[in-house]
Each structure stands twice: as structure tokens, then as C-alpha cells.
Amino acid sequence: MSLDVLISNDGAREAVMAALALPAPLGKLLVQYLALFRPAQRQLSFDRAQSLLSELAPMIEAARIERGGRTWVAPLEYWKAAIEEMLAKRDKLTLPLKSHGYLLEIIAGYANKAEGAVETKREQERAYAYTREQKPDPGMKPARSVMPDSVRKQLKQLAKGDAP
């Protein structure tokens, strides 16, 4: 189909416009991803392609998704990896896909793992800082007592069992 014929169709024009608004590194992957929505024995309509891309565009642009009542970070690398993962598992998916749910679950999983790694590192740093605070520096001399000598003598005598 020529570009002028493609652009004359409203659905096709909107799909092309939506695709052009998305980051370039995702282009080819998104075309392959959209194929997962194609009904058996038919083509994916331009209207449906435009609708699917329009649903993704704001999330990709914001680098955030909402899933399970939470907002997750979703940088471009997560989108790319999640789509690649879905394409690799294509044979195990129930096709055609009905929604972006599985894609969003994969991205939320990546974000959750990243948050867990950050939290683990933070806890390790806290534990390290705590143990450093508790252990004296081996090169440090003990602080001199501020206890008066007379009190120290009395305590020594009491410890020996001698009355002052």
C-alpha cells in the first residue's frame, strides 16, 4: 500500500502518527508486539493498531506504569526487555492478546526487582555503618576516665572487699 493511500485512511493515519510519537528504539519491537494482537486468519485493523499504540504511548513517555494499585518506574530499557521477553515466549502465549496486561506485569516485575536490589544495598550499607560505629578503631587509644582519683580508689577498695 502506498503512503498516500495509507494516510488517506483515518485509522491508518492515526496509527502512523501514534507510532511516530514513540521512541525510535522501540519501533521494530512494537510492530512485532502488535502482531501478537492480530486475530487468526485476519489482519490487525489500523483502528485497533492505533488504539493499542495510543494506550502505550503515555506510559512509555512518562516512563511509569500503574499496576496492582502501585505506580512503577518503567524506563525505556524495561519496555524493550519486556517486549523482547514476550516475543521470545510467543509460542506459550494465548493469542491473540486482548490487553497489555502481561506486558505491564513483566515491567512491574523488573521494577520490583530493581527496588529490591536498591533496598538490599541500602540495608547492607546501614548494617555496615552500624557495625563501624559499634567497633572502636584499633588504632584509637581508650579515653581517659573523667572519674576523680579519690572515687576510683574507693571503688577499688570496695571491689577488694576493703571498707574505706
Return the percentage of the chain with pLDDT > 90, whole number.
46
Q: So what's the pLDDT on residue 157?
A: 80
Task: Tell me how many domains the chain contains.
Answer: 1
Contact assessment for residue 64 and residue 26, using Cβ atoms and an 8 Å cutoff: no
Helix pair angle (27-34, 10-21), 10° resolution: 140
Name the one residue in this structure whose C-alpha cell is 502501585. 70
pLDDT < 70 stretches in the chain: 1-9, 20, 130, 132-147, 162-164
Q: So what's the pLDDT on residue 134?
A: 64
Q: What residue numbers bound the domain in which 118 lies?
A: 3-160
Q: So what's the pLDDT on residue 96?
A: 96
Q: What is the pTM of this model?
A: 0.68
Put residue 12 in one of left, alpha, beta given phi > 0 → left and psi -120 to 50 → alpha.
alpha
For 9, residues 6+ apart whose C-beta sits below 8 A from its C-beta are 46
For 12, residues 6+ apart whose C-beta sits below 8 A from its C-beta are 6, 46, 50
